[in-house]
Amino acid sequence: MGGGHGLLARSHGLTCDSLQQINMVDSQARALQANAGSEPDLYWACRGGGGGSFGIATQFMISAFPLQTALVFGVSWKLSQPHAARIFAAWQTWAPNAPITITSILKVGPAGGGLITMRCIGQSVGSETELRNELKTLTTLETPSSALSVQSLSFLNAVKHFAGPLEYESAPFKAKSDYVLTPLDSAGIHDIMAAVAPIPVGNIVLLCDSYGGKVSDVAADATAFPRRVGTQYCIQYFSSWTRAGDTPTRLAQVAKVYAAMRPHMPGASYVNYCDLDLPDFAKAYWGDNLARLVAVKQQFDPDNLFHHAQSVPVSLPAV
């Protein structure tokens, strides 16, 4: 309901772009079926508006695609800040404009001693030749610290490769996000490296999800998800820890890196990476789609039965 960006986003679109119908129980206990022909406003809102605002979703009908195998890849670097900046600049030029078969994520973190660790991971539904050729943009620019690996896996194993095991320990984490709507200039990239490098190793990672491809084929107002044509990538500032006593330090570290990037960012965030610190979450999550979301809220839940800290408001926030 928030969109759904994954490693098939550039080849197949967001998860919400495959949603054909959603069944929902609304605040008046009506069982609704929302699709392109029935309750089209609710259908529109449930593709990007996020959960917990309009009713209780009871069923999703989603288009499926035949896909037997996928290529999964990864390549890493450990670099000084100026060299890491070169990889970052090359990735941000390449990743949102690469063949739509390829969806990549660039992970940026501290490596100690003022160095930066970077890892480009992703998935391709194209040929291995195409993928290896495309990745030369990065692998010939700076020598990787661990060589490029490319594996052809069954689709399910590709999912498992990135999702990890089903048995995992829950751990506290903090995430904040920024959509990059025009490529960062050299000052912006410099500031990323300068903010990340001094943080202790393992305490933060910036996950840059590439957009473009099929995500851009849908108009910004065709669904409630507003980050379409022109959106380059989304940076998720992420920290996860296990000891409760670490919480203040980790929150401060994420906040510091995020603060360093304020001069370079347009103030757009991803509703699925919910961030309770945002001063104007509604504008950050939904941009120009906010007014229509508020109208849908008024239509289906005027008494605000379904609400949480960042649900769609019943009226437009005062400017």
d(CA 186, CA 89): 8
Q: Which residue is nearest to ligand FAD (CB)?
A: 51
> Could you tell me the smallest distance in angstroms from the CB atom of residue 42 to ligand FAD?
12
Q: Residue 150 in contact with residue 132, Cβ under 8 Å?
A: yes
**Contact between 172 and ligand FAD per CB under 6 A:** no
* 161 Cβ contact list (under 8 Å, min separation 6): 72, 151, 153
Among 5, 10, 47, 227, binds ligand FAD (CB under 6 A): 5
Dihedral, CA atoms, 242, 244, 248, 252, nearest 10 degrees? 10
User: Which of 313, 269, 309 is closest to 294 using CA atoms?
Assistant: 313
Residues between 54 and 73 with contacts to ligand FAD, criterion CB under 6 A: 56-57
d(CA 6, CA 270): 13
Tokens encoding 297: 């809220």
> Could you tell me the smallest distance in angstroms from the CB atom of residue 99 to ligand FAD?
21
> Could you tell me the smallest distance in angstroms from the CB atom of residue 197 to ligand FAD?
25
Among 23, 41, 51, 202, binds ligand FAD (CB under 6 A): 51
Q: Residue 239 in contact with residue 203, Cβ under 8 Å?
A: yes
What is the SS3 assignment for 50? coil
Q: How many residues lie near ligand FAD (CB under 6 A)?
A: 11
Q: Which is nearer to ligand FAD, 197 or 223 (CB)?
A: 223
Stretch that binds ligand FAD, among 1-9, 138-146, 197-205, 290-298 (CB under 6 A): 1-9
Tokens encoding 17: 């772009």
Residue type, 53: S
Among 30, 97, 308, 316, binds ligand FAD (CB under 6 A): 308
**Contact between 176 and ligand FAD per CB under 6 A:** no
Among 116, 272, 275, 300, binds ligand FAD (CB under 6 A): 272
> Could you tell me the smallest distance in angstroms from the CB atom of residue 121 to ligand FAD?
12
**Contact between 48 and ligand FAD per CB under 6 A:** no
User: Which of 310, 313, 292 is closest to 302 using CA atoms?
Assistant: 313
Among 4, 96, 109, 213, binds ligand FAD (CB under 6 A): 4
Backbone angles phi, psi at 80, to 5 degrees: -70, 165
Contacting positions for ligand FAD (CB under 6 A)? 2-6, 51-52, 56-57, 272, 308
